[in-house]
Amino acid sequence: MAKIVRFYETGGPEVLRVEDGDPGEPGAGEVLLKIDGIGLNRSEAAFRGGHYLVKPSFPALIGGEATGSILKLGPGVEGWSQGEAVIALPTFMFGQYGFYATEAIAPVSCLVKLPDGIDPVQSSALWVAFLTAYGGLVETGKVAKGDFVVLTAASSSVGLAAIQVARDQGAIPIATTRRRDKFAPLLAVGAAHVIASEEQDVAQEVARITDGKGASLIFDSVAGPFAEQLFGCLSIDGTLMVYGGLSNQPATFPRHLAIGRNLTMRGYTVSYMNNDPVRRARALDYLVERVRDGRFKMPIAHKFPIAEAIEAHRRLEENRHVGKIVMTP
């Protein structure tokens, strides 16, 4: 029997249940995975809490990022073999599949071969964060050398990845975090400047850092009322790119400022790149090279056994960690 995490109602971490169960047989286009490492993402906490774009159907599976090996192939599956080490990415609607488990069914469309020489548990902390950052900053944001880029919630896994991707592109990453206690690790990973949003005026600090020019791009996972403050950080023709909603409050749009400075506010999700095999392969080629040579790293902040999924989600929502939280069987 496998350990499988499900939830039967939305709510806090305590709604998660770790159950013994049979993951079932893989169907056409599917495989059965033995899970080695599970990367936790804030989108999963939002899904569990009922705040995500997709509402769960109960009982709901959870988890979109994992590494493991193939235990069994579904009918007609080609190009994969039993025992092969893989990365599983969230290319599906949350709830259709779930990788918070010791064994799980996965569609082959979400699988990528695990690169040689990369530890599977460490790998579970890497790819969603770096793919999100790469897709937002490079493919969509077209960040270039010398650009000032503001990165909110920068101690999150995506924030840390975005700092490194921006640096790799020659941009100047300005990281924001709520308090000064996270300044040192953000500077260590490559932030050029760090702003404590609860202790400093973000717009004033960005103006000081950029000599009044502002940032050409803001990569934001907070949104809510903070969005209006962020608009004041943008240069003429600048863009506020929102990829999350940690505030769980409506975002405000200061139309007079936006019109006066020709500003753009847009949404972004990595799903479209993950579901495009050509774009995904191009992104992974870029990322794997830099992970292997040490340019890109992701600290694992905490590691929990799957039996402690509730505690792992509590830690995730405390937002005190720097890096990625992972679970193992």
What's the mean pLDDT when you consider all of the chain?
92
- Whether 263 and 324 map to the same domain: the answer is no
* DSSP strand pairing (30-39 vs 324-328): antiparallel
* DSSP strand pairing (234-242 vs 264-267): parallel
- Whether 187 and 120 map to the same domain: the answer is no
In 3-state terms, the chain is what percent helix, strand and coil (to 5)?
Answer: 35, 30, 40
What order do you get walking across the sheet with 16-21 strand by strand?
16-21, 2-7, 60-61
Tens-place pLDDT, residues 108-156: 999 999 988 888 999 999 999 999 999 999 999 999 999 999 999 898 9
- Whether 171 and 242 map to the same domain: the answer is yes
Structural domain including 197 reads 128-271
280: which 2 tokens? 């995904």
Question: How many domains is the chain partitioned into structurally?
Answer: 2
Residue 281 counted as domain residue: no
Rounded mean pLDDT, 220-232: 80
pTM across the whole model: 0.90
> What is the H or E stretch that residue 291 is in?
helix 277-292
Residue 276 counted as domain residue: no
What is the Cα–Cα distance from 60 to 203, expressed in whole angstroms? 41
Q: Is the pLDDT of residue 247 over 70?
A: no
Residue 322 counted as domain residue: yes
CB distance 323 to 300 below 8 Å: yes
What is the Cα–Cα distance from 71 to 34, expressed in whole angstroms? 6
- Whether 195 and 237 map to the same domain: the answer is yes
Burial class (CB in 10 A: 0-12, 13-18, 19+), 279: middle
Q: Which residues pair with 300 in a beta bridge?
A: 324
Tens-place pLDDT, residues 256-281: 877 888 888 999 988 888 888 899 89
End residue of a domain, out of 233, 255, 271: 271
- Whether 59 and 173 map to the same domain: the answer is no
Give residue for tokens 């992104």.
283
- Whether 134 and 78 map to the same domain: the answer is no
In one-letter notation, the amino acid at residue 204 is: Q
Which range among 39-48, 195-204, 297-306 shows the weakest confidence by mean pLDDT? 195-204
